[in-house]
Chain A
Amino acid sequence: MAVVFSKPKALADVPFHYCPGCPHGIIHRLVAEVIDELGIEGKTIGVAPVGCAVMAYDYFNCDMIEAAHGRAPATATGVKRSRPENIVFTYQGDGDLASIGMAETVHSAARNENITVIFVNNAIYGMTGGQMAPTSLPGQVTQTSPYGRDVNHCGWPIKVSEMLSTLDGPEYIARVAVNNVKNVRNAKKAIKQAFQNQVDGKGFSLVEVVSACPTNWGMTPQKALEWMETDMIPYYPLGVYKDRSAAKEEK
């Protein structure tokens, strides 16, 4: 009988610790499928973040390193500059990448470091129990914004893809989402592009994946997906924000 669906080879055969309804499983799978399809598992080195995906080092079959909070792009830089022939990716959340690790993010993008960054934006700190993230929406209720994010008090969300695409450095910046089948397919396309760019030596490629946190949003998984559609995506519009090679071809 023909096999029509199986676990990607790049994904380890272990139970994930993620909450029910958490899209991290989908995003892990997309990354693993891309690694399989590009045939790069044997030379890929992944960098896990601090946050919900901290144990990603147990979930991917490739060599892995656990970075300090926010430092994944710096650690990835060290790995890549030592082993340019390897494929190096980071997998980071919004607190990790856009708050404590913003300097590392911006500067690795500015250097056009030849790495792939998977940035999961679910507008909240998940692992620590639901605190306000740099990407929490105005008015969003979290543990540390219990009356809703007051932008006059603690400022506005950071739109990472828009911001990074103003830099001359990076090769590819795209924002995708994983709230429905069509968007998941597009997400995979962007992730594949981001890895292919590295294989081709083109440089820094970041895919921002708009995601959900049913547990800390206090919603059912179904409701969380709806909230992504009605609240998250309008604030964080999907699309390719920068694609240097495609832009060159057009010219």
Chain B
Amino acid sequence: MAERVLMKGNEAIAEAAIRAGCRHYFGYPITPQTEIAAYMAKKMPKIGGVFLQAESEIASINMVYGAAAAGVRVMTSSSSPGVSLKAEGLSYIAGSDVPALVVNVQRGGPGLGGIQPSQSDYFQATKGGGHGDYRMIVLAPASVQEMASLTIKGFNLADKYRMTSMILADGTIGQMMEPISFEDAEIETYDKPWALTGTDCKREHNVVNSLYLKPEALEITNMERYERYKIVEENEAMWEEYMMEDAEYCVVAFGIASRVAKNAVATARAEGIKVGLIRPITLWPFPKKALEDAADKVKGFISVELNMGQMIEDVRLYTKCKRPVALCNRCGGMIPSPEEVLESIRKAQKGEF
């Protein structure tokens, strides 16, 4: 049996990153992700890595940009208000096609918001955040094990597609402890001939850049980038289905909300309600196919979220509004109870959406 260790979610991310070969971490303190930085500060100097506390989130993401351009596996972590500050760098990283891993352990917003768990950065993560046309691979862990495995996966995907992978976690999973294993981790490595290494006077110079003053050139660059995004959409969507085989109603939830929802689904089943759960693991690419297929089978959907209703827009989009979609939500750092979700399922069964 695989060796299991008890870890906090945030620490699992840090340890997984190190195991994935990340030796460069640049960050700035913010609650509730501090354990990641603390872990890195302790470990990196012992293994020949770099932990650097930057003067701001803006500086830290631009350090990530430089390190990514230099060809190393690099990451930063923050929480919602800090990720807003990183948006500038996220756009440059996307526009320059360099790979990086960015962690957002979400807290309630907008503004300074609160420090309790939230999922209210769904739009920011999946629809943009920074300026310009770009995408990030957005991974949504629902357990401490996934905090680790999706971090490793995130590094692999970032290098493979030369883009940012974002771990979109929340304060609950960041803070909770569960036993996990690192034994199944597959570390992939990719050549980086585009990286800044110095020419050694033996090759043409490499330029990492997002400026294209000729509109024709910028258009072509963006279109080529979206061809790559299309491949990501076709190949990398991940989701979990729970009790969906004969389901008449479908709950859609990710991250910590999916854990609550799963409990509610199990209870509803015991009451005889045929309900299942689709849990997106990648929020971008969104598991379109799972939703499309479900729309042909079920009578309605319930989107369970820790925000004012953000993912629900994608649920409606990818089910082509064929079925009604109810919202079961709490926000501001509040989490719905299994009973609240159960009540939404009961209402759906009565046709109340």
Contact = CB atoms under 8 A, between A and B. Distances in A.
The answer to whether A and B belong to the same complex is: yes
A55 B62 CA distance: 19
Size class of the contact patch on chain A: 35 or more
Interface stretch (B66-74, B115-123, B284-292): B66-74
A80 B26 CA distance: 13
Given A54-B211, A57-B207, A82 B59 contact: no
Contacts of B196: 45, 63-65, 79, 83, 86
B72, B198, B199 pick with most chain A CB within 10 angstroms: B198
A131 B199 CA distance: 37
A79 B205 contact: no
A41 interface: yes
Interface string B47-64: 000101011101110111
Contacts of A74: 54, 58-60, 62-63, 66
A98 B60 CA distance: 19
A239 B210 CA distance: 37
A201 to B, nearest CB: 16
- With most chain A CB atoms within 10 A of its CB, the pick from B70, B96, B210 is B70
B65 A75 contact: yes
A68 B92 contact: yes
Contacts, number: 136
A66 B213 CA distance: 13
A79 B67 CA distance: 5
| 9 pairs of A and B residues whose beta carbons are closest in the complex | A78-B66, A74-B62, A78-B63, A82-B70, A43-B198, A78-B67, A75-B66, A107-B55, A71-B62
Contacts of B207: 57-58, 63-66
A98 B309 CA distance: 42
Interface of B: 24, 26, 50, 52, 54-56, 58-60, 62-72, 74, 88-89, 92, 96, 196-202, 205-211
A62 interface: yes
B198 A83 contact: yes
Nearest to B66: A78
Given A63-B199, A75-B62, A104-B62, A81 B67 contact: yes
Given A65-B66, A68-B88, A75-B65, A81 B198 contact: no
A78 B58 contact: no
In this complex, which of A65, A67, A103, A107 has the most chain B Cβ atoms within 10 angstroms of its Cβ? A65
Contacts of B211: 54-55, 66
Interface in A135-181: none
A196 interface: no
9 contacts: A63-B196, A64-B205, A65-B209, A68-B88, A75-B66, A78-B70, A80-B66, A81-B67, A82-B67
A22 to B, nearest CB: 18
Contacts of B201: 41-42
Nearest to A111: B52
A42 B59 contact: no
A122 interface: no
A78 B65 contact: yes
Given A65-B208, A78-B63, A104-B62, A43 B200 contact: yes
Interface string A208-244: 0000000000000000000000000000000000000
B70 A41 contact: no
Interface string A82-104: 11001000000000000000011
A81 B63 contact: yes
